Amino acid sequence: MTAVTHPRQIVLRSPRERLALKLPLRAVLVLCLLLLALFLTIAVSLATGSYGVALGDVLDTLRGITISRAIDNVVWEFRFARTLAAALVGAMMALSGAALQNATRNGLADPSLVGVSQGAALAVVTLTVVFPDISSSWRPWAAFAGAILVALAVQGLARTRQGGSTIRFILMGIGLSAFISSITSAMMTYGEIDRAMAALAWLAGSINAASWGDVWTLLAWCAVLLPALLAISRTMSALRFGEAAAIGLGAPVKLVRNLQLAVAVALAAIATSVVGPLGFVGLIAPHAAQRLAPAGMAMHLILTAAIGALLVSLADLIGRAAFAPIQIPAGLLTALIGVPLFVALLLRSRATTH
């Protein structure tokens, strides 16, 4: 593989130049900075807590050097799984938002806004409160079923005789998510107190209970869903120019749109089943990636995933360390950041329309 650098792009070529990959230089630099920031956030997160560990000791422990059994336990057993889960969940929620926004061609689409996260949450709360004897290993499947049912319901309700409408999709999603949230609240109110409390901690979007089992689950789904999304990225790029233009270019629009929705729902459902609903990550990350470094769809998805991972990792670190010993769930912090940004996007969208 050889690399050729032009003023604004990097071109990677295979040995016989059968394959070539053109990458915008700005996007590559932004991605490197995001990955560096994510690495530093993870390192600080591993070192910060009630049992303080020096950064150098953290790095040595990660390299397999045993400083002490206490540090080994703190880093490997208690903090590393949680930190990795935060980064993976953030990346998955961000990618879900990017896929939804591209499929609906609406920049306000977000898993938590159109009811996908609420559907997954209702399914998991039902398992926790109504069927507590069922193993927690069924959570991802229940969450996926809840999310896909809500997505299908929103799609069905949003369709008109003239076809789908993106603004109708968003409005139907908001209405249905409010309805589902009310059912979830009713379960929490009238369910047994210990089960309701367990579900309440999960609904706040807390990552403190994440285990290595959760990390392996997230990694396995990422290994399937991320390549699937990247495989259709070329057609997703064509959809940016509109459905008519994409059809004119020979793209299988309907198939790719359905694949996008399926992957978006699966990403949000799996992430929600592990840590609970995390609002606005899927809304913020795609817009941030677009503004930091405009690029092709594949690079845009990678940047979006990196921003989502960094955002949730920072939210978990701040929520855990800023007000210690009180721990604030990451879901509350992402909502605090996301609500003002959502209002700003709505105002900007209205100004553009007028």
Q: What is the pLDDT of residues 187-235, one digit of tens each?
A: 877 777 777 777 776 666 667 777 888 889 889 988 988 888 888 887 7
Q: Is residue 77 part of a domain?
A: yes
Parent domain of 128 = 22-349
Supply the pTM of this predicted model.
0.82
Residue 307: pLDDT band (50, 70, 90) is: very high
Q: What is the pLDDT of residues 330-350, one digit of tens each?
A: 777 777 777 777 677 666 655
- The amino acid that residue 297 corresponds to is M
Q: Is residue 15 part of a domain?
A: no
pLDDT at 310 (0 to 100): 92
Average pLDDT, the chain: 79
Residue 309: what pLDDT? Answer: 93
Question: Residue 306: phi, psi to the nearest 5?
Answer: -65, -40
For the chain, give the number of residues: 354
Q: What is the pLDDT of residue 32?
A: 93
pLDDT at 4: 55
- pLDDT at residue 208, rounded to an integer: 74
Q: Which of 61-70, 174-183, 186-195 holds the top average pLDDT?
A: 174-183
Examine residue 5 and state whether it is found in any structural domain, yes or no. Answer: no
Other CB atoms within a 10 A radius of the CB of residue 64 amount to 7
Angle between helices 166-190 and 139-158 (to 10 degrees): 140
Q: Where are the alpha helices (DSSP H) in the chain?
A: 25-47, 55-62, 69-72, 80-104, 116-129, 139-158, 166-190, 193-203, 212-231, 233-239, 243-248, 253-275, 281-292, 297-321, 330-353
The answer to whether residue 178 is domain-embedded is yes
Taking Cα atoms as reference points, which of 278, 279, 258 lies closest to residue 102?
258
CA distances from 226 to 37, 158, 209, 266, 324 (A): 22, 27, 25, 11, 35
Contact 85, 275 (CB under 8 A): yes
In a domain, 17, yes or no: no
Residue 2 is assigned to a structural domain of this protein:
no
Torsion of CA 341, 345, 346, 347, to 10 degrees: 100
Model confidence at 15, pLDDT cuts 50, 70, 90, reads low
The CA angle 214-231-35, to the nearest 5 degrees, is: 55
What is the model's pLDDT at position 230? Answer: 85
* Number of domains the chain is built from: 1
Any domain includes 63: yes
CATH assignment at residue 40: 1.10.3470.10
> 9 lies in a domain?
no
Greater confidence, 14 or 154?
Answer: 154
Query: Tokens 């049992």 map to which residue?
Result: 51
